[in-house]
Structure 1
């Protein structure tokens, strides 16, 4: 019996819907990784960090459930291969953390702010896309491959934590997956909800819905869009993904592909993909909330220095995100949902880079006061 082939437009519209939900809820709850780090560094407030942890926990548990049910195979994503490019994860994460602090938000926050009318974020979007494209295929690309990605550790198994547990104990892969997901995801869930103030509606809503959108992204690209044998190539295929693998939400390379599509619209080989549709969906969802809540307002730069900082931040995020294979969402939630070691390294490096930059900014501000 011939396998039915889902249309690319179906995957694209579903990705747009997933992105729309993410954008609407993230704007509604002020979900922001850089904001979470800033709240801790500057005010000692952990609520938005708990929201982020809740999103990670939801994504881990939901993704593990998909794998247990046979609806998703994490080995078919970019995250769990046996080649650990640890230096790229650390350097890229640091650069991304610095960049998102200079640019007043990560890739997802940039899209959310565009939906809310922020002109500064349009500039960040363009420079993030340029930096990402230069790092994928342009000026920085060859240098990255030759001098950064070559620094790697070859593992005898996948780099996901269940693979390490299985190799160390001889545990079956399914059992190792459940044990690790329950330990890590359950632990983060308990920590995120351990304080009474974390039970606010915005923390619960933002954490749960953002995590669920990542799981939904995996389901759309890796199950609905999966074809074991494409009728034209006779090979395994994931419909409408740029990487040709299973994808979920991430906002660095897809931003570059979005700008590329806008610049080369007349080139019929350039089409809307899962990643591009999710980017546009986040903007649309955020704009919808901004209009409904009457929060849409035009915001621009204070001065030339503000412009330069945002431009530099966008470039650093583009370079860092491609080098580290993701951003605060692409690695910090989507990658972590696969329990990949590289995602853990990147996420920690992003937090460190952002926190250090905030401290330096505060020192410079006090020095100039």
Structure 2
């Protein structure tokens, strides 16, 4: 039996390791969901999108396998919470998607760029963290709650794809396995289309990123699960901010990091799974950039570039919290739970990014 005194440290080190793998792989492979969307719009290049889709497929299949084996329970994640705040998912996702284009990358890409030497990405992190904190507990919290309550629906069957199939009469295990196999197989078939086969290096990167999300569920949901916490005598998930099972996500954790740094002497503040994985991404991307010789200091180009990044970061901080995640938090981790809200948020993120790319194109045309 694992000693509960050392369990939090083990969870944190494992989270740091998963984040390091994610950061190193993302830096080396140029993994970037925003860049994937932009590549399709600007160059009809699907390579980075296929990498992202492969990561989603691996996360969906791996998470379903863990759930089916009884090691984790996907219903214990925040993505399958009670209620279906569809308006928050739509507005939050679209706001985040628009913001990530202005800020030259999503929350995860921001961390990777910091590891590669980008000072403007550091500014983005600070502003994302600030607005995420304001949206969770500050001046924007009221707006978040209002949007979540106004546009909320409740389905008797549940708020995930397997629950809808269960309502139709399918057994629970078969419903989840069927959904995961259908989605995962469809994505894999698209990723490895003969005409545009994914390069081995990109395929390996997508596999590693997907597995890092699966690893996050296993670490927090299996290794970090206590049926009875010695202090509270209730079930608990060790070192998670939400008190529930968590995997990789990078918007709210930026707020948690700033909060921890500012209130370090507060004995009630502790390093969490989310912050440890975030620090791992920074460390992994830094080591990869230095090791490959790609580390370069980068600053803002001009006033417009500065303004775009500041506004984009603010939109990401607000939208990421409102929509309960980012391109990784909802786009991979959330989707891997087969929660309806995650699919809605992911679609809204893509829609917001497309709108921002159109906006940038119109601005460029008018300036020419």
1:199-214 matches, within 5 Å, as: 199-214=198-213
Q: 1:188-207 residue pairs with structure 2 within 5 A?
A: 188-207=187-206
1:14-163 to structure 2, matched below 5 A, reads 14-163=14-163
What TM-score, normalized by structure 2, do the two folds share?
Answer: 0.98
Structure 2: runs of 5 or more not aligned: none
Cα deviations by residue, 1:136-189 (Å, 9 ceiling, x for unpaired): 000000221124334200111321111111112x11100111111100111111
Shift of 1:366: 1.2
Q: Residue in 2 aligned with 1:265?
A: 264
Matched, 1:178 2:169: no
Matched, 1:289 2:276: no
In structure 2, the partner of 1:217 is 216
CA RMSD of aligned residues (A): 1.2
- Measure how far apart 1:8 and its partner are: 1.0
On the 8 A contact 2:87/2:147 being kept in 1, the answer is no
Question: Counterpart of 2:79 in 1: which secondary structure?
Answer: coil
CA distance in structure 1 between the partners assigned to 2:116 and 2:312 by the alignment = 20
Distance 2:364 2:151 in 1: 37
Using the size of structure 1 for normalisation, the TM-score is: 0.97
Q: Following the alignment from structure 2 to structure 1, what is the Cα–Cα distance between the partners of residues 82 and 314?
A: 29
Which secondary structure state, in structure 1, belongs to the residue aligned with residue 139 of structure 2?
coil
User: Conserved in 2, the CA contact under 8 Å of 1:221 and 1:238?
Assistant: yes
Q: CA deviation at 1:201?
A: 2.0
- Please say which of residues 99-108 and 258-267 is displaced more in the overlay: 258-267
8 Å contact from structure 2 (residues 119, 299) kept in 1: yes
On the 8 A contact 1:96/1:319 being kept in 2, the answer is: yes
Instruction: Say yes or no: does 1:319 pair with 2:333.
Output: no
Deviates more, 1:12-21 or 1:257-266: 257-266
- The unaligned stretches of length 5 or more in structure 1 are none
Q: Could you tell me whether the CA contact under 8 Å between 1:81 and 1:158 is conserved in 2?
A: no
* Residue in structure 1 matched with residue 252 of structure 2 by the alignment: 253
**In the alignment, is the contact (CA less than 8 A) between 1:50 and 1:198 conserved in 2?**
no
Residue 266 of structure 1: how far off its partner (Å): 1.5
* CA-to-aligned-CA distance 1:20-70 (integer Å, 9 cap, x gap): 000000111111000000001111111111111100000000000000110
Aligned partners of 2:226 and 2:195: how far apart in 1?
46
For residues 273-294 of structure 1, the C-alpha deviation after alignment (integer angstroms, 9 at most, x for no partner) is 0000000000000001001101
| Pairing 1:159-170 to 2, within 5 Å after superposition | 159-168=159-168, 170=169
> Which stretch of the first structure deviates more once superposed, 353-362 or 261-270?
261-270
